[in-house]
Amino acid sequence: MRTYLAGLVFLFIIPGSFAQSVKNNTHYSVQKTITCGKGAVVSAHPLASMAGLQILKQGGNAVDAAIATQLALAVVYPAAGNIGGGGFMVAHLSNGQNISIDYREKAPAKASRDMYLDKDGNAQLDLSQYGHLASGVPGTVAGLFASLKYAKLPFVKLIQPAIDLAEHGFPITAGQAASFNSNKKEFLEQNKAAIAFVKAEKWKAGDLLIQTDLANTLKRIRDLGQKGFYEGETARLIVEEMQRGNGIISPDDLKSYEAKERTPLSFDYKGHQVISMPLPSSGGIIIEQMLKMIEPRNIAAMKFQTAGSVQLMTEVERRAYADRAEFLGDADFVNVPVKTLVSREYLEQRMKDYEPGKAGNSKITGAGMIRESEETTHLSVIDAEGNAVAVTTTLNDSYGSHTVVTGAGFILNNEMDDFSVKPGVPNMYGALGNDKNAIAPGKRMLSSMTPTIVLKNNKPCLVVGTPGGTTIPTSVFQTLVNIIEFNMTAIDAVNKPKFHHQWSPDRIDVEKDFPADVIQQLEAMGYTVKPRESIGRTELIQVLGKKIIAVGDKRGDDDARGY
């Protein structure tokens, strides 16, 4: 076990006394990896991973733990953990069933295709990215209750750690303090009332964050179920908040919100069954396309992060993202040729102009010929019965719209920016889209979230996902290739430098520790390579025989727990 110490925040939680230790304001440490035999939880925050682990130890299954972890993240990781956003769950149950639950936000009934264009037709991205009008109808709470069907413990037990954390507070990490400080201006701009995330002096590691309004909202959800959010007091507070800032979410939008159970996307890659999220996530389709495009080419022989293997992966990323922009949207609203997009014949055709050693060009290689924040958070869970759960949820950007519902204490998403606001105008991730992903009332905006489970001989061997907007599918893709093709350890697969190409802009983004000699060789092939800040925060569980290895990404406060 390796332990990474987050700023000033040390010491230990005594197992089994989670709620009590939170009440006593016990400090905690960030634990990056654990090897164990029964069950594990990896998430963006130690207190959320601990909440999930406690539920596993109390006899809950992986779905119970995933619900408790999400609720705890809504308190301890307000940048992306949420009840005001949405998400996806992919699960493999010990009875062999694979499921996926879509609780993506939807456009309010009053939304319209050109709602973010000014009178001259110019896109007003400040409106799709900040404030009340940027919010889609939240889906997370409906998703938690839809997941409950597969859980074992009563909901009151699963939500209690989150209530304790909100009510009694917890000491924040150095990373969280820096994040609150750097978002202060946006919080003040978007909120007239006092909010828990802003104080006069600077936040520092170890400061206590108490969220009384959020605790009361969580209690209403505990006592009234889904109606405690979508109807009554919480719904009233959301609608009043909308009225304060020209938002358009109505009581009816909230009352009619439904999580949808969908058939997960599933395909074979060299004897591994990959199970991932279907539309409205683009992630599963993109992963399938990218893996199938590398499958016939011996990438293992090219070796990890050589110019050759990075070039091949870049070129499949280019092609998959061009297809994303052209063809993908909410399949409940538009036709998407999914079968063709993932067929081996089509993908081989897409790779016809791939030339080893020579950079491709996004002006020449567009979408295939078929006629017809980056701030998100992921958690991976496995239990002793062999249930595995991968959940990615989001507010979209860090702290979403930055709008806190007055009196209810939670942040609303800015997910409307994941629609194509105007064809040809990139969203905050630089992603392009067209009519397929245009805004329509009730439609779900295209996502990149890619919660993924890999089975070998029908048993989970990998549970993986990450935040990172459009970089999500490429990070999941690289993690899978690192393990399946390059035989890498779970720790290295998560932590080695990542890169990303998304067709437009035509450029390879690399993390700062990406090897300089490989960058030079890629530039010599004709690629533009640009160093950027870290890519994603991958949470991975690997099962090797009877051994469970859980890894929280080095890039944040991410934390792995198990027993």
- Edge-to-edge strand ranges of the sheet holding 452-456: 33-36, 547-552, 539-544, 459-465, 452-456, 272-276, 265-269
Shortest separation between residue 313's beta carbon and ligand GLY, angstroms: 20
Is 376 part of the annotated catalytic residue set?
A: yes
Based on C-alpha coordinates, what's the Rg of the chain? 22
Total residues found in the chain within this entry: 563
- Report d(CA 80, CA 85) in Å as an integer: 8
Report if residue 82 touches ligand GLY, rule: CB under 6 A.
Answer: no
Show the DSSP H helices in 245-372 as ranges: 251-255, 283-294, 299-302, 307-327, 338-341, 344-350
Report if residue 469 touches ligand GLY, rule: CB under 6 A.
Answer: yes
Pick between residue 234 and residue 448 the one whose CB is nearest to ligand GLY.
448
Pick between residue 31 and residue 376 the one whose CB is nearest to ligand GLY.
376
Shortest separation between residue 392's beta carbon and ligand GLY, angstroms: 8
Pick between residue 34 and residue 80 the one whose CB is nearest to ligand GLY.
80
Stated as kind and residue range, the H or E segment containing 309 is helix 307-327
Q: Which of 140, 173, 217, 376 is catalytic?
A: 376
Q: Could you tell me which residues come within 8 angstroms of residue 341 by beta carbon, excluding any fewer than 6 positions away?
A: 285, 289, 323, 327, 368, 370
Shortest separation between residue 421's beta carbon and ligand GLY, angstroms: 14
Using the contact rule CB under 6 A, the part of the chain among 46-54, 442-450, 489-497, 548-556 near ligand GLY is 442-450
Task: Name the residue type at position 188.
Answer: L
Shortest separation between residue 396's beta carbon and ligand GLY, angstroms: 4
Report if residue 447 touches ligand GLY, rule: CB under 6 A.
Answer: yes
Using the contact rule CB under 6 A, the part of the chain among 51-59, 336-344, 345-353, 447-455 near ligand GLY is 447-455
Using the contact rule CB under 6 A, the part of the chain among 143-151, 184-192, 248-256, 443-451 near ligand GLY is 443-451
- Report d(CA 202, CA 526) in Å as an integer: 46
- Report d(CA 412, CA 553) in Å as an integer: 26
Peptide bond before 505: cis, by omega within 30 degrees of 0?
A: yes
Pick between residue 217 and residue 471 the one whose CB is nearest to ligand GLY.
471
Task: Identify residues 129-148 at the interface with ligand GLY (CB under 6 A).
Answer: none
Find the binder of ligand GLY among 448, 474, 502, 504 (CB under 6 A): 448
Tell me if 280 sits within 8 A of 445, measured CB to CB. Answer: yes
Backbone angles phi, psi at 339, to 5 degrees: -60, -45
Structure tokens at 102: 């879509």
Q: How far apart are the first and last CA of the chain?
A: 12
Shortest separation between residue 376's beta carbon and ligand GLY, angstroms: 5
- Residue 536: DSSP 8-state: -
CA-CA-CA-CA dihedral for 344, 345, 347, 349, to nearest 10: 160
Report if residue 376 touches ligand GLY, rule: CB under 6 A.
Answer: yes
Strands 375-382 and 388-396: antiparallel
Task: Identify residues 175-214 at the interface with ligand GLY (CB under 6 A).
Answer: none
Site string for ligand GLY, 395-434 (x = CB under 6 A): -x------------------x--x----------------
The long-range contacts involving 117-124, CB below 8 angstroms and separated by at least 24 positions, are 117/421, 117/422, 121/422, 123/421, 123/422, 123/425
* Dihedral sign (CA 543, 544, 549, 554): negative
Shortest separation between residue 484's beta carbon and ligand GLY, angstroms: 24
Total of residues contacting ligand GLY (CB under 6 A): 10
Using the contact rule CB under 6 A, the part of the chain among 148-156, 201-209, 258-266, 441-449 near ligand GLY is 441-449
Using the contact rule CB under 6 A, the part of the chain among 254-262, 350-358, 400-408, 444-452 near ligand GLY is 444-452
Pick between residue 396 and residue 521 the one whose CB is nearest to ligand GLY.
396
Using the contact rule CB under 6 A, the part of the chain among 89-97, 136-144, 298-306, 446-454 near ligand GLY is 446-454
Find the binder of ligand GLY among 129, 190, 289, 394 (CB under 6 A): 394
Report if residue 535 touches ligand GLY, rule: CB under 6 A.
Answer: no
Pick between residue 104 and residue 132 the one whose CB is nearest to ligand GLY.
104
Q: Could you tell me which residues come within 8 angstroms of residue 183 by beta carbon, excluding any fewer than 6 positions away?
A: 197, 398, 399, 402
Tell me if 535 sits within 8 A of 476, measured CB to CB. Answer: no
What count of other Cβ atoms lies within 10 Å of the Cβ of residue 474?
A: 31
Shortest separation between residue 338's beta carbon and ligand GLY, angstroms: 18
Pick between residue 404 and residue 416 the one whose CB is nearest to ligand GLY.
416
- Residue 492: DSSP 8-state: H
Shortest separation between residue 394's beta carbon and ligand GLY, angstroms: 4
Find the binder of ligand GLY among 313, 341, 382, 449 (CB under 6 A): 449
Note the residues at the interface with ligand GLY (CB under 6 A): 373, 376, 394, 396, 415, 418, 447-449, 469
Which residues does the annotation mark as catalytic?
A: 376
